[in-house]
Structure 1
């Protein structure tokens, strides 16, 4: 283990101007009360890289009960990992007591390991012990509020300079302790543009199936961090590269292995569009993204049941139910999202029904916009699908009367030539008043 390296204020770029005011209040109050208090983890890593962290975590020598006595706006959470949350309006500062390395039970808590996995960890220790208990070396640096220095106990600063992710300790042991660390390695490598150290990546093939035993609710949270934080496409590619996609999204991995290039284009474009919306500060929903990721399997199963003579509506409903049920055993997608996913999928065949009543009924459906955006992603499936997307895009611009007059009352799924020719209604501009 590398020797302690203390980087004084003048030799690093962290400025208190870039640290949350709430986090600074917590750090200062702990320090003034006589406790050691440090900003720690991803916030320190990102600040040293010139980034802007979203979350600020604090590590301290104070126990959770001692933290609670200092802050009236504090609540204690967790049994497996006892933590203090100090609440400032919408912002929560997570405060953790230094974890120890011992396995013995003590007065202040306990550490329990079952089959190599940590199931409880409430033994307090020193900052040195806390550092070696963290996952990656780049996440184990501490910003000291008492003198504004950065403390590096494990070589994290060198890894930042080398742009590499190295685990602290034996990789197999650390992954067995917490299999989700494998996903975190892929996510951080994608987010930071780092490579994963060979020793840290080697156990993925052997231990990847441990992810099937991880709590599905926890994997849902991890999937949001991967795909809805602006690095979704990179994270997806990294999951594939690391061989971990099949353990998190088995249906997606199966569908892509069938070699459907149009499906790959749809998935990658959907992820890229989500990244773009995040970058522009626009809202994103997990429902649309999960609908994209699982589309290939749903579509193939629905078509297979239709070929067996099943009713169209029933086939799509059964396919959605089957695929969502399997996926939720791995990643616990809440019902409010799976309901939207199922609607997006079920509306896809309705876009092919170019009849007056059905077109206007679809245009007024609450999920029309999401389903239409999904239809546009399907452009690479065939020239006919691309033409269909263009037809619906144009139809939305037409006056109600023009569209109604051009649509047949019954039958006909072909694109109407008259609609394609009809120009969209122009908006009349208001004349600006002239100043005198």
Structure 2
């Protein structure tokens, strides 16, 4: 089915004329980018390459963010030097990557990424496939065809990422009207959107990520093919999709990102089981996921740590109860049914997005805690409090309740249990027994078992 879709989409590719060859040049007087806000290590890399006789520019997201007044997360350099030539200039550099070969120049914890100017791939499909650089779907497998700066600009994904900053002249070179799109606050692909998505379906996720991060709109022609081409994400390697999901959801705009993913049909290809749960019960599943993502955004804004384990636990939870019921119907008790369902769901999700084991294990422990938290009698409550996953499990319980799930006041009970002293805790446990209708256990006082059996035995008259 997917192959048929790809063949259908490949035939009517619409070619749009390239942008003008000459870039728009913005001198220092016409832009707000301040050199003082640029990493000194990035400037030193550019300066070193220029002195060696190469062209070198700051490029992409760092230029875009500086123009918008944001603090760039990192600084990238584009150059006419090949990766091997860059490596020869810096002892603290490493050539990395196969699909897209580039150089990392290390300055302590800071890494300056240096990429050689690229050119577009040959338009002949047979030539591309013979070289092994393009998949039959149109997806580019290797991108190491070098070119000049103009060609490099035209093969970049979005106009707002095709901006080059000349550090020595303090001017901006704009090959694709990216500065205008920044003023219009829109995300626009360079070239034919359908063709660009076929080359790399992950560009659909990048469009959503930038729209959410920058609070931009996706331009109409760029947005139009996304829903039709969303199934192409199933062909992307699971480790790469995991990396993209982390960028999408841990950038501080996860709630808005989720809305856009759903709007363009991109959520279900990433989370198939949760996508089905959203269709079955959009109110509950949507509320729980949105609340979890909103909490994540708040923690990131406040500089608090976040863990993908809790995030994936929330994203997948709406799909879990139905699988638990399936295993219970087959005769498994609640906790083993939960464990079996968690295994099934985790395995399915990891085939789509390669979530590392260091996150799937605590994620499953958070789920397991949801079956254990109602079991509070005797010493169980205190034992649960000492469990290293209690806090995450308790927070997850409150999340479920905030989404409208009925738990019989379980969250309120655990909140109070953590606040009160030992004697009040004992009383709370006793009250649980009374509510359940079970008589309080009498404490045995001395004496042998034999004496108790004798004294408790009915007399012949009583019989």
Do these two structures clear the TM 0.5 threshold for a shared fold by scoring above it?
Answer: yes
Trace 1:375-390 onto structure 2 (pairs within 5 A). 375-380=397-402, 384-385=406-407, 387-390=409-412
From 84, 95, 109, give the equivalent of 1:76. 95
> Which secondary structure state, in structure 2, belongs to the residue aligned with residue 114 of structure 1?
coil
Say if 2:159 and 2:190, in contact at 8 Å, map to a contact too.
yes
Partner of 1:87: 106
Tell me, yes or no, if structure 1 residue 186 matches structure 2 residue 205.
no
Q: Is the 8 A contact 1:262 1:380 kept in 2?
A: no
Secondary structure of 2:157's partner?
Answer: coil
Moved more, 199-208 or 164-173: 199-208
Q: Deviation digits for residues 46-84 of structure 1, max 9, x if unmatched?
A: 111111110111101111111111111000011221101
Q: Is the 8 A contact 1:262 1:378 kept in 2?
A: no
1:97 aligns with 2:119: no
**d(CA) in 2 for partners of 1:414, 1:41:** 63
TM-score by length of 2: 0.85
Write the mapping of 1:320-335 to structure 2, written as runs, cut at 5 A.
320-335=342-357
User: What secondary structure, in the 3-state scheme, does the structure 2 residue paired with 1:85 have?
Assistant: strand
2:31 maps to 1:12: yes
Q: State whether structure 2 residue 112 is matched by structure 1 residue 112.
A: no
Cα RMSD after superposing both structures: 2.1
Superposition map of 1:156-175 within 5 A: 156-175=178-197
Partner-residue secondary structure (3-state), 1:59: strand
- The 5 A counterparts of 1:30-429 are 30-101=49-120, 103=122, 112-115=133-136, 116-380=138-402, 384-385=406-407, 387-408=409-430
Q: Which runs of 4+ in 1 moved over 6 A?
A: 412-415
Cα distance in 2 for partners of 1:410, 1:208 equals 51
Change in 2 beyond 3 A, CA 1:260/1:137: closer
Work out the CA distance in 2 between the residues paired with 1:314 and 1:412: 28
Whether the aligned pair in 2 keeps the contact of 1:134 and 1:168 (CA below 8 Å) is yes
Could you list the per-position Cα deviations for residues 138-186 of structure 1 after superposition, in whole angstroms to 9, with x for gaps in the alignment? 1100011120100000111111111111111111111111110011111
Q: Distance in 2 between matches of 1:407 and 1:259?
A: 35
Gaps of 5+ in 1: 105-109, 416-436
For this pair of structures, how many residues does the alignment match?
411
384-393 or 217-226: which moved more?
A: 384-393
Give a deviation string over 1:337-366, Cα, whole Å, max 9, x none. Answer: 000110000110211112131111111111
Counterpart residue number, 1:433: none
- How far the C-alpha of 1:409 sits from its partner, in A, is 10
Instruction: Tell me the TM-score normalized by structure 1.
Output: 0.90
8 Å contact 1:256–1:264 — kept in the other structure? yes
For residues 102 and 399 of structure 1, what CA distance do their matches in structure 2 show?
A: 70
